[in-house]
Amino acid sequence: MGELLTIDNISVDYGAIRALKSVSMHVNEGDIVCLIGANGAGKSTLLKSIVGLVPLSEGEIKYKGELISSVKHKVSTDNIAKRGIALVPEGRRVFADMTVEENLDMGAFLVKDPAVIAKRKKEMYEFFPILEARKKQKTRSLSGGEQQMMAIARALMSAPTLLLLDEPGLGLAPLIVQEIFRKITLINKENNLTVFLVEQNARMALKNSTEGYVMENGNIVLEAPSKDLLVNEKVKRAYLGS
């Protein structure tokens, strides 16, 4: 399995503030890679830079070996989606006044064939049965966990190769977080879908991933197999409460 996503020495500035500082990392095809760190470390900025929502000040990002972002070259966000990258943003960002079914349709906006859309929707309902039971309900009436499942299903409607997840466990009860991560692991195994997730629940993220990175103040300070980070003394003290 080769590198699917390569981030090479990127920096991002918000005015006079440097949010990302010479960040380099990679995501291998078929892996679940996690990025952990404190609030404000720059994790969400990194995901936004991958999908073209924030410009780079230096460095470059390649996907499947092709340049998608640098200081002089920028592929648009919709074209990045067409290439097979889907982002589930922090806070889910669902269309609250639309039904579950309408939200899923929005996830398939790049797909022109109604038969393909219907097939993918059926697959999502099989994978997330609660969504089928709620498909005619307005999304605002769903619980936080149901909304998160719907946000993931909506992203999967585009049949991505790389799924980016920004804080999938944010604001959810521990049992619901476990269920969300169980689904993420299943998606990875059954669909061979590569996953890159940002998560503040460091223990849950590391237990359910293959490779891990630690970000502090816009810098990558640690990189190792997730199982090694789980027993790393610095990580345990700073992020695992032990």
Of 235, 210, 239, 236, nearest to 26 (Cα)? 210
pTM: 0.92
pLDDT digits (tens, 9 = 90+) for 74-85: 899 989 999 999
Q: Which of 53-67, 108-122, 198-212 has the lowest average pLDDT?
A: 108-122
Answer for the pair 58, 9: CB distance below 8 angstroms, yes or no: yes
Q: Please state at what angle helix 174-191 crosses helix 114-127, rounded to 10 degrees.
A: 130
Considering 24-28, 125-129, 154-158, 183-187, the range whose residues carry the highest mean pLDDT is 24-28
Question: Which residues have C-beta within 8 Å of that of residue 153, sequence separation ≥ 6?
Answer: 104, 107, 124, 127, 128, 131
Ordered domains of the chain (ranges, CATH): 1-84+202-242 (3.40.50.300)
Residue 95's pLDDT is: 74
Look at residue 13 and tell me whether its pLDDT is greater than 80: yes
pLDDT digits (tens, 9 = 90+) for 134-170: 999 998 888 888 888 899 999 999 999 999 999 998 8
pLDDT band of 190, cuts 50, 70, 90: confident
